[in-house]
A and B are shown apart, each in its own frame.
Chain A
Amino acid sequence: MIDSTWADIVIIGGGPAGLAAAVAAKKNGAGRILILERDRELGGILNQCIHNGFGLHTFKEELTGPEYAERFIRQVLELDIEYKLNTMVMEISRDKAVTAMNREEGLFEIRARAVILAMGCRERPRGALNIPGFRPAGIFSAGTAQRLVNMEGYLPGREVVILGSGDIGLIMARRMTLEGAKVKVVAELMPYSGGLKRNIVQCLDDYGIPLKLSHTVIDIKGKERLEGITLAEVDGRGKPIPGTEEFYSCDTLLLSVGLIPENELSGGMGVELNPVTSGPRVNESLETSIEGVFACGNVLHVHDLVDFVSEEAAAAGRNAAAYVREAREEEDREAKKRIRLTAGTGVRYTVPETVSVSRMDEHLTVRFRVGGVYKNCYVSVCFDSEKISRRRKTVVAPGEMEEIVLTKEQLEKYPDLEEINVRIEEA
């Protein structure tokens, strides 16, 4: 038989989001909280992000990934929050029965009053780009290489080409260099890098690694182990330009070509997903389309900075605790009046997508991403047809998450408001 037990809040995932959510939920009065983590230790992806640059917002100091994780793990331990490692969640039912599995306990079920989804994301594989060529050993997603190098001490290769200039790709260019590999080039399909300027300077320029924008891999050579790749320049529609092909001999190709929130469990339980973010649709409480099921961190939408993950997760934890305490008024639960938050020109999505004024905190941070690089533009917010604010930005780019803050006080002045639209206006 399958054992069934219960918890106030079950948190799926013990990475940065799950940890911060757990701590906040506990501090806000939740009773039994259980974190289910599939890896061998808490901390999630932070354990392999051994570079520094984490925590400037949260702790006002620069930490490495494992150090940042440790600050939260310590709080989890101090607060006596329960967790299970090496435990895979197999299924969550709509009424919040969580089926999980591990070596020691086998299959077991936990009935939760609230669930916080914090499973993180996975990397897009080569197939998602349809890169042609052979399929030899030596092609890794950047994150897999990061785990091998930073946690297990193995060097995947000695001559490296990296496709994709997102932050993981850039960081791995430096890591592989410091561990003794030669990184020959970083290629980026887009005409701009998806990574932080600081990483381009400190991970590439410092080591003389060229960054080729508007370039992609068009062929892979080597039947057993990778022998080389061909790069070509691409036109405005991403098509390779004949005559620009250039061969690079290398034994390793790292792919840093995007992250996808891992929502198979969410989808399985019936949570509504947003096709743009691939994450759940949430309201101001970070609650999904299923009552009492919350989402935060990279499972909700892919973040650039862990500090914002922690902040968002803490909100999810607080809201889940409130839900469990039944602190929400009965009529609030109905949330009969919801304002839609919509992405206007230049904006790809917003999180959250709806707001209930009665349920929101005094301040609500709305995060969003833009669809292209805009210089000297304005981030405008419209309440129905009325433009409420217009903030000048020297530059916005898809690689950097943006935010606006809504206040309860402001929204209460618009009792009939139906839609808040966020858009980019070019100067």
Chain B
Amino acid sequence: MYEYEVIIIGGGVSGCAAARELSRYEIRACVLEREEDVCCGTSKANSGIVHAGYDAPVGSLKAQMNLRGNEMMELLSEELDIPFVRNGSFVICKSEDELPGLQELYDRGRANGVQGLQILGRDEVLKKEPNAAEDVYAALYAPTGGIVCPFELNIALAENAYANGIEFRFNTEVQEIRRLHEGYELVTDQGSFFARFVVNAAGVYADRFHNMVSGRKIQITARRGDYCLLDKSAGSHVKSTIFTLPGKLGKGVLVAPTAHGNLLLGPTAVDIEDKEGTNTTREGLEQVLGKVRMNAKNLPLRQVITSFAGLRAHEAGDDFIIEELEDAPGFIDCAGIESPGLTSCPAVGERIAGILQERMGLSKKESFNPVRKGIVKPHTLSKEERARLIKENPAYGNIICRCEMITEGEIVDAIRRPLGARSLDGVKRRTRAGMGRCQAGFCSPRVMEILAREWNTDMREITKSGRTSKILAGTNKDTWRDKA
């Protein structure tokens, strides 16, 4: 039996942003995550875009959170030592007929409070983005649009929350929520947890938990999006994020550089039944590779190194739900957090902490430290600094992932730091080892070796992403031994 003042269900960006904001106060709180790591659901598979804020309807919570989140991202990325670039974004249209559509976005953006919006003609667009589609007619340009690494953002929020006293429990799946006289009992596969307040940041499962305690049902649909990621050699094909104006041919996809210099294409949007359905489909990938020609020309589509699918948590009301439930006091929803959820997460966290502060009368924690230092990235250092680093710790001289040039030092740091990596994916999302053009072909045996050494376990126990995702089935000839 475990008791907390606040339990947050879900270690995605929303849950971890809430945890980090809560850690500013004197509080006993815990994040329950069913996977072995943070950033394992929607937060790990999305566009990594920091939206400017012209999409969401005026007056919606989405619009409010988007603007505030965008504004907060700059300071947050500095405090958390994560890559964030305001690379600007374009929404391009192809004919004069579509101009009213652009104008509508422009007006909505202005009404939402987006700064610096401009409608540019073809020549100006092509001057700024020479590889934009040749038949561009005009575009809405938003200089405040940006890109961020979703993994690092999520992980850094968690690490900083943890450093400021929030607990995290992994491999802990909430199965049932019982309302008590005061507070809630969360029944999990690891026993029961009690909390006065619950924050429901369970992504595509937020409806399940909401509906356990409330009579006013909500429904979250998993909306799948397929993506293709291109090699870094294609990363500078465009500088900004390029969207197309939704038109006769339906909603388009985006073409954007990533915070680490790859090129990202996608996503599709298909509502599915299976909330675990993160499989890409042939139709989806073909759609992405077909549609991107609307955005940009000369795309080197042979440089695809991987494809993946993510699920957006789409709520029927089409807006974020971030509030305490009227019929379930102490239960705070953070539901329907689809795009622009990543952009909004700092604001979402702030809002949730605000609600709890008001309800609980929390006092500020003197010792709160907003600064988190990331894993040292040797390739960002000067040669002299790098040489010094290797002298202090020779592991930084040993390249493990040759595509991304990631050293043993970085991998060991990723494992040893608080809430450290336990699996290949954990190492990958923290360091980028295995994220390059060979997609872990060369480095995975080496990373497994380091994981086994650091966790003092056998190579055969190492997983791709926890639970039953073991990489190895055994040793040579053990089948012959079993049969003997």
Contacts and interface: CB of A to CB of B under 8 A. Distances in A.
Interface residues of B, number: 59
B442 interface: yes
B276 A223 contact: yes
Contacts of A141: 438, 441
A99 B399 CA distance: 14
A134 B473 contact: no
Interface in B144-181: none
A156 interface: yes
A279 interface: no
A219 B402 CA distance: 29
B306 A136 contact: no
Contacts of A417: none
In which size bucket is the chain A interface? 35 or more
Contacts of B438: 122-123, 125, 141
Interface in A139-156: 141, 143-144, 147-149, 152-156
Given A133-B280, A144-B442, A157 B394 contact: no
A181 interface: yes
B122 interface: no
Interface string B378-420: 0000011011001100110111001001000000000000000
Contacts of A372: none
Contacts of A251: 473
B399 A180 contact: no
A106 B276 contact: no
B362 to A, nearest CB: 39
Contact of A179 (B281, B289, B476): B476
Interface string B440-460: 111011000000000000011
B193 interface: no
B308 interface: yes
Interface string A367-408: 000000000000000000000000000000000000000000
A156 B471 contact: yes
A402 to B, nearest CB: 25
B472 A156 contact: yes
Nearest to A108: B387
Contacts of B383: 2, 99, 107
Given A90-B405, A156-B472, A127 B229 contact: yes
B476 A180 contact: yes
A393 to B, nearest CB: 30
Interface in B264-282: 276, 278-282
A223 B276 CA distance: 8
A154 B476 contact: yes
B2 interface: no
Interface in B427-484: 437-442, 444-445, 459-460, 463-480
A138 B469 CA distance: 8
B474 A155 contact: yes
Contacts of B276: 223
Contacts of A128: 302, 304-305
B284 interface: yes
Nearest to B468: A224
A225 interface: yes
A219 B283 CA distance: 12
Interface string A153-189: 1111110000000000000000000011100000000
A223 to B, nearest CB: 6
B307 interface: yes
B6 interface: no
A134 B468 contact: no
B228 interface: yes
A180 B304 contact: no
B65 to A, nearest CB: 30
A127 B476 contact: no
A13 B280 CA distance: 37
Contact of A152 (B282, B445, B463, B469): B445
A220 interface: yes
A134 B438 CA distance: 18
Nearest to A104: B394
B306 A252 contact: no
Contacts of A181: 473, 479
Given A122-B438, A122-B441, A130-B285, A220 B279 contact: yes
A276 interface: no
A1 B384 contact: yes
Nearest to B381: A107
B445 A148 contact: yes
Contacts of A143: 441
B394 A103 contact: yes
Interface in A222-254: 223-225, 240, 251-252
B442 A122 contact: yes
Contacts of A90: 405
B168 to A, nearest CB: 21
A158 B282 contact: no
A155 B439 contact: no
A147 B233 CA distance: 28
A224 B469 contact: yes
User: B228, B276, B280, B405 — which one has the most chain A CB atoms within 10 A of its CB?
Assistant: B280
Interface in A71-89: 86, 88
B441 A2 contact: no
Contacts of A225: 468-470
A244 B272 CA distance: 25
Contacts of A134: 278-279
A147 B280 CA distance: 29
Given A224-B465, A224-B468, A132 B445 contact: no
14 contacts: A1-B384, A38-B399, A103-B390, A103-B395, A104-B394, A106-B390, A122-B438, A125-B306, A127-B307, A130-B289, A132-B307, A153-B476, A155-B476, A158-B474
Q: List the 6 closest pairs (A to B, CB-CB), nearest first.
A: A180-B479, A127-B306, A125-B439, A137-B464, A106-B390, A103-B394
Interface of A: 1-2, 38, 86, 88, 90, 99, 101-107, 122-123, 125-128, 130, 132-138, 141, 143-144, 147-149, 152-158, 179-181, 218-220, 223-225, 240, 251-252, 267
